Structure 1
């Protein structure tokens, strides 16, 4: 069901999988598109494409050829290479795997997509299987018994560890700077939209898109609704100008998100 994906995503992943099969015959049995592309929140020029590549063997010998394919992909086709047994074992046991982040393939990378968030997304992804010279698309619903509890626990831990440190770093970066001084939109967008998704997961058990999470956060914290709306608009390509004042508001929102994890 390629219609479940934006046409640009379906075309890019289809061509990628066909070339991937040529470079590494028999390696990938199925590819599951997750993230914004499967959630209806993908935006050309801003979003990458996240894919879980389900492999039939250890891909170590295939990685050199695949690295170049990922690096040349546009938009970037990122993701993780996992066997069916690794998916069944879950991210608490599978500590490293070949992963692609922003087009760079690392043969044994911890973290990144090796989290319960990815396993939750596997429950509602879109699966592609190469059949002859084409790719057959269909809904997929992989299940793991620990996902519901794991995704909430991961979200709490990630807010208290990773995002708490990001907040401390941003606070130091902004110290002493004038309120009206320009600030990189990518920084404000990242800090505004990243932590709120984890809060939404803690409170709903679902992995919401960034846009849906912004709506959730705006209802919870209406004092930040304008910043959230501007961050979403910037992400869709409607470029916004942000200042240090916006950065400090994003930091305040981040701190509120961390406090939810500590409750």
Structure 2
């Protein structure tokens, strides 16, 4: 059954940052953006100040190319980072399989014609329960949105499976080789363990359900499925929420083992 769009409940810090951003965006590029749809952790109740970026789909009325230089500076100066993709209503209706590149922002850097990134069925599925902002005078009006594409549920299943097989399997191989000479007790970056432990399990949830769940929700589901990894998943989720943990190479190797189990599920599906 399709999800019903929730009432908008953006974290106050997100709403404030986006309101400032959208008003300045309108000043720099009048009439360009008709609406901005918040996706990702900020729309799922899993956004954490100081850790999470804000992901947005900017729906545009025209080709944004002439304004990209000014918009790039605006994105680069945003704090927290406001990332996203610029798409027309026509491109939204066509779906990600038909949109090969688009202007996209990653970690504050705007690329004029970037493939991949938010051009995936995961983004289109998130649009079905996103929060939409429209500039009205000197204010931004927030409301639920329900941009539905008939292929989104099937698409997100196939996308998640392919991502596990084509991307994460190679990530596991590379990380394992990089860690090979290190002792289990050696320290490792928190971000590395969080990324490897939480990314693939979220894709498994999408592959099996056709929904896009938060990383925190995916961690809880994965901990029940793989109790031997529950303690690591709990620490990764707590670290992401701001309760900083200490991770070792042994933890990273365990995260890779979990990644391998996720890839095996994709191979069997």
- TM (normalized to structure 2)? 0.96
**Do the aligned partners of 2:29 and 2:67 also contact (CA within 8 Å) in 1?**
yes
Q: Does 1:140 align with 2:139?
A: no
Alpha-carbon distance in 2 for matches of 1:207, 1:248: 26
**Do the aligned partners of 1:33 and 1:125 also contact (CA within 8 Å) in 2?**
yes
Within-5 A mapping of 1:96-245: 96-245=101-250
1:251 to 242, 256, 264: 256
What is the Cα deviation at residue 3 of structure 1? 5.7
Alpha-carbon distance in 2 for matches of 1:43, 1:123: 22
Alpha-carbon distance in 2 for matches of 1:261, 1:176: 29
Alpha-carbon distance in 2 for matches of 1:2, 1:160: 35
Alpha-carbon distance in 1 for matches of 2:219, 2:109: 29
Alpha-carbon distance in 2 for matches of 1:36, 1:62: 28
Alpha-carbon distance in 1 for matches of 2:7, 2:26: 19
- Secondary structure of 1:212's aligned partner: helix
Q: Residue in 1 aligned with 2:71? A: 66
**Do the aligned partners of 1:2 and 1:10 also contact (CA within 8 Å) in 2?**
no
What is the Cα deviation at residue 205 of structure 1? 1.5
**Which ranges of structure 1 fall in alignment gaps of 5 or more residues?**
none
Alpha-carbon distance in 1 for matches of 2:225, 2:179: 26
Q: Does 1:11 align with 2:16?
A: yes
**Do the aligned partners of 1:183 and 1:243 also contact (CA within 8 Å) in 2?**
yes
Alpha-carbon distance in 2 for matches of 1:67, 1:199: 34
User: How many residues in Structure 1 have an aligned counterpart in Structure 2?
Assistant: 263
Q: Residue in 2 aligned with 1:54? A: 59
2:26 to 13, 21, 24: 21
Alpha-carbon distance in 2 for matches of 1:155, 1:72: 32
Alpha-carbon distance in 1 for matches of 2:202, 2:46: 13
Q: Name the Cα RMSD after superposition.
A: 1.0
Per-residue deviation, residues 218-249 of structure 1 (Å, max 9, x unmatched): 11111100000000011011111000110110
What is the Cα deviation at residue 2 of structure 1? 8.9
Alpha-carbon distance in 2 for matches of 1:246, 1:235: 15
Q: Does 1:36 align with 2:31?
A: no
What is the Cα deviation at residue 202 of structure 1? 1.2
What is the Cα deviation at residue 176 of structure 1? 2.4
